[in-house]
Structure 1
Amino acid sequence: MNSPSARTNRREEVADWIAAEIKRLGPGAKLPSMRAMMLKFSTSQRVIEAALSPFVAEGRLISRRGQGIVIASPAAPDADEAVE
């Protein structure tokens, strides 16, 4: 079994790769499947989910079961934040 620090390092490695893919691919593009990422990084689903979670929470990725993981379009600025 991997130590907690090994899992954290692997999660960070996967998260860094995801961030780079978001920049490289752009809005509307799909990331590889969960299984493909598990194989690419030789890690568990739990580690991949932990790496994806912050991006989904921030709205940078949209994850739907059976439909994959899609890079979200940048949000339009709120009316309150608009410069007048």
Structure 2
Amino acid sequence: MSSVRYDLIKVEEYSHKGVKRSRSWKVGSGMALKRGLMIFIPEGMAVSGRLMLVPEQGSLNEVDMLEAYAAAADEFGV
């Protein structure tokens, strides 16, 4: 059985000199199981706020990541 793997991403929006910017970090990973998801966050790391679980890719560029984040936020009304 092949499981779908995910990246757990934390996106921070901030402003610098009046310009809105964002930066993102991969903070963990996940894997789809038969009855749910298993999330892996490295030991000693604390994460809070909004997180995004996206299908694992070689690497998401910032534009792709922001589009995925915006789509997820729109979908869930946040």
Give the TM-score, by structure 1 length: 0.23
Higher fraction of helix: 1
Higher fraction of strand: 2
Give the TM-score, by structure 2 length: 0.24
